[in-house]
Amino acid sequence: MQKRTDNFSKFANQKKGSAVKEAFRQEKKKIKQDARAAGEEMRQRKKDKMRGLVTEPLKKSTKPGARKGAPPSRDAAYRGESTARPTGSARPITPAKTSRTKDFQATPVAGMPAPIALKTAEQMPLNKFIAHAGVCGRREAAELVKGGKVVVNGDKIFEPGFKVAQTDKVIVKGKQVYLQKNAVYILLNKPKDYITTANDPEGRKTVLDIIKGATPERVYPVGRLDRNTTGVLLLTNDGELAQKLTHPSFEIKKIYEVTLDRPVAKKDLEAVLAGVTLEDGFVAADACGYANAKDKNVVGIEIHSGRNRIVRRIFEHLGYDVRGLDRVMFANLTKKNVDRGKYRFLQEKEVRLLKFMNKSFVRKSKEEA
């Protein structure tokens, strides 16, 4: 008993060292706060300059986040109220008139939703803002930012995680974008000879041509289907959901009906289940079998991998020529009662299941299994 007490005292008496460490942590924390405040101050000054407020160089602040001689309310400046202050550190000026092209102004088209009423201080990563504006998914948005296609408040931004608020002016490829107010979810039974992109430089038909006029909202396809692949395709302006459904970590279930140039041997079905090694790595199907016992040219395959052209490449690796590929299920969505080339809006229950990643179409973790 005495021994345990002595051991405890040995650790308890080491207060001096812990106190030193705590002081070091507090000092480090203060330095970070000062740096964060300075960065925020710089961004605020840039916004003030764009809104017509010219400020004198500020003296170094003695407190974290303090802004000596901060400009007055920007709303007051727009109303024409006096913005004079005792220190005289800021004075209102009339913004110079500049010529702008139609693309730069990017006036919202009829039916375009108004920006969501967010608090001015509420911020989000730039790629998330673009996704929620219905331009594309988060990963595609990140590529747009890195490629220098996005301008925020007049500055070209290259960092997808750059924080923006609802009041910031975000321009993507020359057009201003706004946060979407109304989420739209459309299920399309994609026909052949249509590509799954918003537009095509070569002038080919896209899936958006099929749903033209269905909604005033700007929607885009979730994931990709080859030009000659048919079946279930989801289109939405919900960037958060699109990110989840396409991210490899969620392993969303997909079922395809594959029509091949010759009967599939049983050993090849077993090989698909056991897994094959392609040029980009190993892949195995979750289920595979004949779709019709009398027609062994047609095979059904369930797979979670979202790699490009994965089903075609699996069978081509085994020496088959894919004559037809039809996706009959994506997550919990099927093409039941939707003819080829037709579409419908998702029901509330279907959207709810998608958003909460229902276990029926998301692969279980190893622990759960």
Last residue of a domain, one of 176, 198, 221: 176
Contact 265, 271 (CB under 8 A): no
State residue 323's pLDDT score.
94
Low-confidence ranges of the chain (pLDDT < 50): 1-15, 58-120, 365-369
152 in the same domain as 196:
no
CATH of the domain at 263: 3.30.2350.10
169 in the same domain as 196:
no
State residue 117's pLDDT score.
38
321 in the same domain as 253:
yes
192 in the same domain as 147:
no
What is the domain count for the chain? Answer: 3
235 in the same domain as 157:
no
State residue 266's pLDDT score.
93
Question: What global pTM score does this model have?
Answer: 0.55
125 in the same domain as 274:
no
In a domain, 304, yes or no: yes
218 in the same domain as 304:
yes
State residue 96's pLDDT score.
40
273 in the same domain as 304:
yes
259 in the same domain as 124:
no
Per-residue pLDDT tens digits for 159-170: 999 999 888 899
State residue 159's pLDDT score.
92
Residue 199 phi/psi, 5-degree rounding, is -155, 160
342 in the same domain as 234:
yes
Last residue of a domain, one of 128, 147, 176: 176
Per-residue pLDDT tens digits for 301-326: 999 988 889 999 999 999 999 999 99
Report, as residue numbers or ranges, the catalytic residues: 226
Scan for tokens 């041997």, then name that residue: 265
278 in the same domain as 162:
no
In a domain, 294, yes or no: yes
CB-CB neighbours of 321 under 10 Å? 10
State residue 65's pLDDT score.
46
In a domain, 169, yes or no: yes
Range of the domain at 38: 19-53
Last residue of a domain, one of 146, 176, 206: 176
State residue 209's pLDDT score.
92
CATH of the domain at 146: 3.10.290.10
295 in the same domain as 148:
no
